[in-house]
Amino acid sequence: MWLKPEFGSYVMTAKNMENDTSGQLLADLFDEYSEWYMGLAAEYGSLPRSLSGLSKEGRQFIYLLDDLELHHMMRNKYLRYILDELESVVYAYGGIDLRGDSDAAEVAEVLSVSAADSENYITGDWRVVRDEDGKVADLAHLGTRQGNDPEEHPGTWFMAGSVSFSALEKSRFGALWDEAKPGVIFRDRNGEG
């Protein structure tokens, strides 16, 4: 369904990444990833949980995570493993969360999209509106915020702080990653393949 998502018209190349500030790269990646999600909602009526990492050489991956069956703490560590393996300097993460008060029956689906590096983040939220068939009919923007404390906010902490992996974790995460690679989208943002 989402085999070859197309991004917006902005292309970040390795050359302008070297000259770009971290903040501008985050803003560009956030805008691009948000537009990608808007396109998925309009075209498919669905919003997958996903992670995209970008290396300083312009290599990018897009990993759809809906089929990943790991406890959320292990999933977070696994995602950090992938970002480290592919030498990502910035990443984008998106997916639907449930927010509100379940006791008061006031729970809403919210699409959260974040772009972050080890020191800064930008994150935005959209309320998900579904049609009678359960497909996404609209996304209502709730707000965008940014900051320099990514370790404090869900979805923005994957590159914050240092993380060590045991030999067993490296082996397990490496095997999971090898198994996932055929379904992961890879692209060179410099247009070289």
What's the pLDDT score for residue 160?
62
pLDDT of 158: 65
SS3 111: strand
Q: Burial letters for 47-62: b for 16+ Cβ neighbours within 10 Å, e otherwise?
A: bbbbbbbbbebbbbbb
| Residue numbers in the chain where pLDDT is lower than 70 | 1-22, 102, 150-151, 153-161, 192-193
Tens digits of residue pLDDT in 54-106: 998 999 999 999 999 998 888 889 999 999 999 999 999 999 988 877 677 77
CA angle in degrees (0–180, nearest 5) for 115-120-124? 40
Q: Which two tokens stand for residue 32?
A: 């691009």
Residue 50 has a pLDDT of: 95
- pTM score of the predicted model: 0.82
Q: Is 46 helix (H, G, I), strand (E, B) or coil?
A: coil
Strands 185-188 and 88-101: unpaired
Question: What is the gyration radius of the CA atoms in the chain, in angstroms?
Answer: 17
State residue 99's pLDDT score.
85
Dihedral sign, Cα of residue 128, residue 137, residue 146, residue 12:
positive
pLDDT of residue 13: 40
Q: Is the dihedral of CA 44, 144, 54, 19 positive or negative?
A: positive
Specify the pLDDT at position 192: 57
Domain residue ranges of the chain, discontinuous segments joined by + = 14-188
Please name the amino acid found at residue 163. V
- Closest alpha carbon to 83 in 51, 123, 111, 108: 51
